[in-house]
Chains A and B, each alone.
Chain A
């Protein structure tokens, strides 16, 4: 003990280094991993450019075209279609609102079946969870395409698409919220003579309602964004107008529509943010 002390005090670093060589030296695997990481990242980047056949000539020509488009955007114009755009925006907001509400309605019973502490049996719980996973794995836009095939063109297809696709996400979030509740309250209700359903109603719902309300509002915000694009596949809303104007190169109108979208999304975010804050305080909606 005293000799080691002496060696350090004397500043004999070489001796210390030699003694603890194994601790200070990195194993070669770690060295390879540290050097290999960045090399692999950049290598894959170059490989991707080659594989996808991206040429700089294409980028140059595209940028020229893009700047021309941007030039064409000014001055903004609605081309006399303002009422059409506003109606389409109304459709978008309707799709978001009804889609979210319907999803919340569909997700609630599924979440009760999927949560560990409320599910009546394990097999059912497993099946419901996988069902939610599959629904969640398929993008809203794909659902929109499918529903356009089923109920025809128009906003109704969009509502159904966002209702179904959000049921997957909300079902999972709700079930997690339910699993995070305390059992105590439900037990109290049951112990004082209530049945299982009453236990859920008076013991569980008050605990999860603020969280669920926060999540629903959050999804309303995100649905407003996704409902602006599902019109591209014909499922109603502003996206149809937008894609039409882009295809016909009416960029002054494109710019107006984009501004309209930004304004609407900003307004919805603001309102919903206020409501969310009022309901759950500063808490994140998904915790």
Chain B
């Protein structure tokens, strides 16, 4: 088995064009990259430095707000559609095997195709902007939540609280996804991040990344609290 793995790694190295020399050659570039995206702080005019680092704070804040709303719409839409379809599939459980099979494959398809692929497709169809992002992330959530709901319905009855809790966990993931779909023009903060990385606006990269990380952590903490309020801790799976 180990020999098989070594052979596989050898093949993968060739296919993947692994060039350790290239990495070493560029290693200095990598470390200096992280040095360059760091903001410069001088003790004597710290506020001015922070202001310069976050020169577009309110613009980015608005885009982050867009991102969170994109994630919210996607989660909500995905949850409602998945709930309805999972319910329909379960209602047909006894009578019609075919419906159940089709619905399950549909969920699987929506789950397996990456959301960015949907985003690319939807940007072509619906035009640039948040709608494409909402639909792309929504379809992915639809697939994941649908699987969850069908499994729950097949085993035992699930209460609505649990259904919402599944969607809550999904929301955090969707905020992350929402900050990425902008890479292909589907709205949110991703567009600005993409431009900042591509055009080497170094300190903008760290400023935006920090804002995303902080936002995701806040949502993490908040949704944890809401989930604990919805249901006592011991029943959390």
Contacts and interface: CB of A to CB of B under 8 A. Distances in A.
B112 to A, nearest CB: 6
Contact of A45 (B73, B116, B176, B216): B73
B23 A160 contact: yes
Nearest to B14: A94
B9 A98 contact: yes
Given A52-B131, A145-B198, A97 B9 contact: yes
Contact of A156 (B17, B70, B194, B198): B17
Contact of A145 (B23, B184, B194, B217): B194
Interface stretch (A9-17, A59-67, A111-119): A59-67
Interface stretch (A178-186, A188-196, A197-205, A225-233): A225-233
A39 interface: no
A76 interface: no
A218 interface: no
A243 B69 contact: no
B126 A225 contact: no
A69 to B, nearest CB: 6
Interface residues of B, number: 56
A156 B19 contact: yes
A249 B33 contact: no
A159 B16 contact: yes
Given A139-B180, A229-B114, A243-B120, A98 B16 contact: yes
Interface string A18-43: 00000000000000000000000100
A138 interface: yes
29 contacts: A48-B73, A51-B66, A52-B130, A52-B187, A54-B73, A62-B131, A65-B125, A65-B126, A94-B12, A95-B16, A97-B12, A137-B213, A145-B183, A145-B194, A145-B197, A146-B197, A150-B26, A150-B30, A156-B23, A158-B16, A228-B114, A229-B117, A242-B120, A246-B124, A247-B124, A249-B124, A261-B112, A261-B113, A265-B112
A246 B121 contact: yes
Contacts of A146: 33, 197
A132 interface: no
Contacts of A211: none
B72 A90 contact: no
Contacts of B125: 62-63, 65-66, 69
Contacts of A254: 121
A225 B33 CA distance: 28
Main secondary structure of the interface of B (DSSP, over half): helix
B76 interface: yes
Interface string A137-155: 1110110011001111011
Given A58-B126, A249-B124, A98 B23 contact: no
Interface residues of A, number: 64
Interface of B: 8-9, 11-13, 15-19, 22-23, 26, 29-30, 33, 65-66, 69-70, 72-73, 76, 109, 112-114, 116-117, 120-122, 124-127, 129-131, 134, 176, 179-180, 183-184, 187, 193-194, 197-198, 200, 209, 212-213, 216-217
Interface of A: 41, 44-45, 47-49, 51-54, 58-59, 61-63, 65-66, 69, 87, 90-91, 93-95, 97-98, 101, 134, 137-139, 141-142, 145-146, 149-152, 154-156, 158-160, 225-226, 228-229, 232-233, 236, 239, 242-243, 246-247, 249, 254, 258, 261-262, 265-266
Contact of A91 (B15, B66, B73, B197): B15
B183 A232 contact: yes
B218 to A, nearest CB: 12
Given A52-B73, A139-B180, A151-B23, A98 B29 contact: no
Contacts of A228: 114, 117
Given A59-B126, A94-B13, A246 B131 contact: no
A247 B212 CA distance: 29
A193 to B, nearest CB: 30
A45 B76 contact: yes
Contact of A142 (B126, B129, B193): B193
B116 A48 contact: no
Contacts of B212: 137
B181 to A, nearest CB: 10
A54 B134 contact: yes
Given A45-B73, A62-B131, A266-B112, 15 more contacts: A44-B72, A51-B66, A52-B131, A65-B125, A69-B124, A91-B15, A93-B15, A94-B12, A94-B16, A101-B9, A137-B209, A138-B213, A142-B197, A145-B183, A154-B17
A138 B180 CA distance: 10
A265 B213 CA distance: 29
